[in-house]
Structure 1
Amino acid sequence: MIDVRRLRVLRAVADHGTVTAAADAMHLTPSAVSQQVRALGRDLGVELLAPQGRGIRLTSEGQVLLEHADAMEERWERALADLAAHGEGHTGVLRLTGFPTAVSTLAAPAAARLRAGAPRLSVEVAEADGPPAYEALLSGRADIALTVPPPDGPPADDRRFEQRLLLREPLDLFVPDGHPLAERAAKEEAEDEAGIALAEAAGEDWIASKDECHQGWVVQAACSAAGFTPHYSHRVSDWTGVLALIRAGLGVTLGPRMLPLHESGGVSRVRLAGEGAPGRSIFTVVRRGAADRPAVAHGLEALEKVAEGLAV
């Protein structure tokens, strides 16, 4: 018998190249990872790993097994779906993960909807952005991830995941109150004129996020599409810090339409106009086959209902 959890560990070792890195991704100890892979090899009567320099590589037997692992994972998810169908998904645990603004504007309201409609279904929410969100799915620590697909993320046809577009969200330019672009935007909106183009902020000092946050490459891609490279003066990922810097007149940045500013006096939102106005696409991601599990299906439906109700 093959333990699917051990296949997930083998996949993590193959993806990360070392036992230590795989252990970090799986939230396990290195010794536990080694034991799981050795046990899997013993069950099959083959060696799965071999040393390579300072790292390790999969043996030919390990490569063959990994080719079948994704299909086995999908079949396992479909088996769980069939079993869960008898309970209609109203019991058990559903784990949601996502980046910070997705947690506050999508996951939290969806969890509240689920609690009201299925009080015996326990919903757990965690925060993860970029590759850690996909790793949480593969390790079984999450059932649904809310992501903005990163440049180095899994492609749309990755056999391990089902990725669905949930929401296309515009990005606004956040500037200090009294900024000339904010005053112009207010005037042009009142006069029903064209509005502000992102390129008009090319000469500003910009606030960038740290590398682990998707916001950084979203801003970079939007500015590149508008024809300029922003001059970054500050690198902060937490929106409390970002808004404080803007309020102090130290820079500007792009921010999600869903981010509320009513408690952030001193910061103005400039809605951008013109062709190619920036935005971000938010996806729900599940392990392939898991969308048929009733609890996961309920979670996806709740997220879709919340997204439909957002004024973006």
Structure 2
Amino acid sequence: MIDHRLHVLRTLAENGTVTATAAVLHLTPSAVSQQLRLLARDLEVELLRPEGRRVRLTPAAHIVLRHADALRLQWEAAQAELAQHSAAVQGTLRLCGVSSALATLAAPAVTALRTAHPLVEPLIIEEESTDSYRLLLADEADIALVLPGPDAPPVTDARFEQTPLLTDRQDLLVAAGHRLARPEGVHLLEAADQAWIVKKHNNDSYPLLLAACAAAGFTPRIAHEVKEWYAVSSLVAEGLGVCLLPRIVPLPQHPVVRVPLLGEATPVRQLLTAVRRGSTSHPVINAGLQALHHTATSIGT
């Protein structure tokens, strides 16, 4: 119902170049340029001005985006109000987010949701947090389970409603027999001389590790770039390094030890739910949010 070219313009405003916008939207750069030219023609205003290798939005483009955000909010409210006329909570609920949150929170929440509302059909998508926000804006997801990080929209971003879901403590994962495998716990600074295992790119865990180590007073030496928890645990078990393991991630079946971290700077992950602003009153989305928050409350950390 809302012109897709407005979403293209919004994506360009966030990414700065036609090439980056095309990559995010899975379009060719020429298709992005053509859509924006046609939008400018239809609106009879100039939307973009070249600025080196980038483009700069004109004042008219910012006006268009401001009204586009208002239109999107109104459309979400309209969809929610229409859905409330149904006698039952029904429809597809699309959840996206990081793997650990999907496994520990989304899976049991979806089971409870389908028990309470059999006509709800869930669709679960694994993505890192930055891409989860993108899926929300592209209307390819309804609820995102995200970790706020340096590339995440601020909580003041008018396009989203972001709500705290769970505070997830992080532990140190070491090989069995490691000098830091102490059940009473260790301070993170004691692991400053260790090799660390974490994937640097497209991985929410990396900025969290950097922030935790900086707070403890050191910069980690990344020895191996691995992301999937089972593979990370296998490397840790072989003595190739250590890692931070979120409390909600089950301990893999390897000879490894989960060591509690002590001190004031104990690292945690803050899990949030994010939805498009105005959509929380939609019966399906509201039921999904309630199921997620109930599951988070029952788990704790």
CA contact (8 A) 2:129 2:145 kept: no
In 1, distance between residues paired with 2:268 and 2:249?
13
Is residue 2:281 matched to residue 1:292? yes
Is residue 2:297 matched to residue 1:308? yes
2:260 alignment counterpart: 271
Cα distance change of structure 1 residues 53 and 88 upon mapping to structure 2, 3 Å threshold: farther
From 231, 247, 256, give the equivalent of 2:246.
256
Shift of residue 135, structure 1, vs aligned partner: 1.0
CA contact (8 A) 1:89 1:298 kept: no
Which one-letter code corresponds to 1:282 in the other structure? L
1:219 alignment counterpart: 209
1:60 alignment counterpart: 59
CA contact (8 A) 2:92 2:120 kept: yes
| CA shift digits 1:254-308 (9 cap, x unpaired) | 11001111x4221110112222211110000111111121111111111111111
Is residue 2:98 matched to residue 1:99? yes
In 2, distance between residues paired with 1:310 and 1:26?
36
Which one-letter code corresponds to 1:15 in the other structure? E
CA contact (8 A) 2:94 2:142 kept: yes
CA contact (8 A) 1:94 1:296 kept: yes
In 1, distance between residues paired with 2:269 and 2:80?
31
Unaligned residue ranges in structure 1 (runs of 5+): 189-194
Q: Describe how 1:144-155 pairs up with structure 2 within 5 A.
A: 144-155=143-154
Which one-letter code corresponds to 1:300 in the other structure? L
Shift of residue 142, structure 1, vs aligned partner: 1.1
CA contact (8 A) 1:130 1:212 kept: no
Q: Describe how 1:76-115 pairs up with structure 2 within 5 A.
A: 76-87=75-86, 90-115=89-114
CA contact (8 A) 2:197 2:243 kept: yes
- Computed over aligned residues only, the root mean square deviation of the Cα atoms, in angstroms, reads 2.0
Cα distance change of structure 1 residues 94 and 5 upon mapping to structure 2, 3 Å threshold: farther
Shift of residue 37, structure 1, vs aligned partner: 3.3
1:199 alignment counterpart: 189
1:237 alignment counterpart: 227
Partner SS for 1:97: strand
Shift of residue 196, structure 1, vs aligned partner: 2.0
Partner SS for 2:291: helix
Shift of residue 93, structure 1, vs aligned partner: 1.7
Which one-letter code corresponds to 2:110 in the other structure? A
With 151-160 and 42-51 compared, the bigger mean Cα shift is at 42-51
Partner SS for 2:151: coil
In 2, distance between residues paired with 1:303 and 1:19?
37
Partner SS for 2:141: coil
Shift of residue 92, structure 1, vs aligned partner: 2.0
In 2, distance between residues paired with 1:4 and 1:106?
34
Unaligned residue ranges in structure 2 (runs of 5+): none
1:22 alignment counterpart: 21
Which one-letter code corresponds to 1:214 in the other structure? D
In 2, distance between residues paired with 1:158 and 1:89?
32
CA contact (8 A) 1:3 1:40 kept: no
| CA shift digits 1:23-53 (9 cap, x unpaired) | 3323345455445434433443334334444
| CA shift digits 1:125-148 (9 cap, x unpaired) | 111113211111111111111111
Structure-2-length-normalised TM-score? 0.92
In 2, distance between residues paired with 1:293 and 1:27?
29
Q: Describe how 1:109-128 pairs up with structure 2 within 5 A.
A: 109-128=108-127
CA contact (8 A) 1:88 1:295 kept: no
With 168-177 and 269-278 compared, the bigger mean Cα shift is at 269-278
| CA shift digits 1:217-246 (9 cap, x unpaired) | 111111111122222211111112211110
Which one-letter code corresponds to 1:279 in the other structure? V
Shift of residue 95, structure 1, vs aligned partner: 1.0
CA contact (8 A) 2:195 2:242 kept: yes
* Number of equivalent positions: 301
In 2, distance between residues paired with 1:7 and 1:253?
42
Which one-letter code corresponds to 2:225 in the other structure? R
Partner SS for 1:57: strand
